Amino acid sequence: MLKVLAFDYGASSGRAVLGCFNGSRLELSEVHRFANEPVMVGNSFYWDTLRLFHELKQGVMKCVKSGNKDIAGMGIDTWGVDFGLLSVSGELLGMPYHYRDSRTEGMIEAAYRLMPGREIYEETGIQFAKFNTLFQLLSMKLANSPILEMADRLLFMPDLFAYFLTGEKVSEYTIASTSQLLNARSKKWSSKIINKMGFNEKIFGDIIQPGTITGRFTKAISEELGIADLPVIAVAEHDTGSAVISVPATQEKYAYLSSGTWSLLGVESKEPVINDDTYNLNYTNEGGLNTIRLLKNIMGLWIHQECKRAWDKSGELLSFDELEAMAEKSKAFESFIDVDDDLFYSPGHMPEKVQEYCRRTGQHVPETKGAVVRCVMESLALKYRTAIEGLEKIIGYRIPVLHIVGGGSKNVLLCQYTANAIARPVITGPVEATAIGNISCQLMALGEVANLMEARQLIKNSFPNVEYKPQNTAEWDEAYNKYTEILLRNK
């Protein structure tokens, strides 16, 4: 029985998951779970980075104390784009900012003044989003940030945690690819963009591929945690990169949807796809394990989660299951939102924001919790249809099936709505997609699994899935026409 430990940091929580491989099946057990609660200081929004590292160490110690000292490796994945800066002596300079911090407002336009958007896209193949690393760094540059001036190395969040454990400074490819600073074809830093933006090239370290052993626990960490010099493996460190590894697809043509706080909907490609269609439709080419993830980044379940947070805060404690049952009883197709509208980007007052969007666009305003949730779920499913149709225009063939992996695959209502909206089967699972992909990459690095194809067969054999068939497609077609008219009218 080979054991490896996966740390999966999401936007609102993290966990340590132990993977046990017996040669034919993979089993998971959660060792440690913790909250990931960002901190507002003044007008700035930060990740509580040292607390998150403390929780990582707690996870290792819990693993050791539970009789699993014999783990063969560990890997770390997180959300994309965010980073820490180190001094020349290796100290962390300040706290890493949260991607929802307001400092990037107006930075896309500022970047265009230094380099045309089409040229940036031609280099990187990455969709324009104000939270991208490029725009975070540019905001620091234009503000004459002393931290940026002092910086000797930039490390993305999983690489930063690995550095705290090993002392090694590396930049893993899949997480670096989210930055909009990597050349999509060479898989190296884009000197062209870095120089045009006025960044110091020395802060960008060597790129390594997923499946590389980056280092081992330092003596101090080994003594503190009670475990030998454990190897830290660079998995597909972008959580979506790990999640896509776990898609149990057997056919050649399919699309995937990694569903959680964000929704990442796309296909895998051997090479980056960078042309007028992908630029105009704002599709992204992120790095994967020996592949390119051509995808659309969609707001996802964030709006639903924020609505629940708002209701919880007011004392109306309802579970997600209860909210979805209320939504199912509400009237269909009364109003729609564009889930990617800037109105929904920042936290707080989300039910009111849904109502404001509907009021602003001349639609019926949902008043009950069930009506708000139904509006969000239907709109998200229809957004997926738009994303799939855009993909089909780019790749030139009809996508026959959609695989949904991740926490959102447990949302029965959304999965059925998605099948209805896209008029094709939806296959869901595994739920623990990111941790499974993380573990699978470690198994490949350790020589236990030969390649991605073998890993996916292992995943298919080890974890169940559920298929949703389309229903009421004529009604959903009519709703889609109404939805697209509303969005076009209010661009």
pLDDT the model gives residue 402: 98
Q: State the catalytic residues.
A: 239
Q: Look at residue 251 in the predicted model and tell me its pLDDT.
A: 84
Residue 232 sits in the same domain as residue 338: no
* Domain finish residue from 239, 272, 296: 239
318 lies in some domain: yes
Instruction: Tell me, yes or no, whether 232 and 267 share the same domain.
Output: no
Peptide bond into 430 cis (omega under 30): yes
- Do 115 and 201 sit in the same domain of this protein? yes
The domain boundary residue, chosen from 198, 216, 239: 239
Mean pLDDT for back-to-back runs of 10 residues, the chain (491 residues): 97 95 97 96 97 98 95 98 98 97 97 98 97 98 97 98 98 98 98 98 97 96 94 98 95 94 96 97 96 96 96 95 97 98 94 98 97 98 98 97 96 98 98 97 97 96 96 98 93 75
Residue 94 counted as domain residue: yes
Domain C-terminal end among 207, 239, 271: 239
Let me know whether 165 and 74 are in one domain: yes
pLDDT score of 229: 87
**Which residue range forms the structural domain that includes residue 289?**
247-429+450-491
**Domain count for the chain:** 2
Confidence at residue 250, expressed as pLDDT on a 0 to 100 scale: 80
Q: What is the pLDDT of residue 167?
A: 98
Whether residues 391 and 289 share a domain: the answer is yes
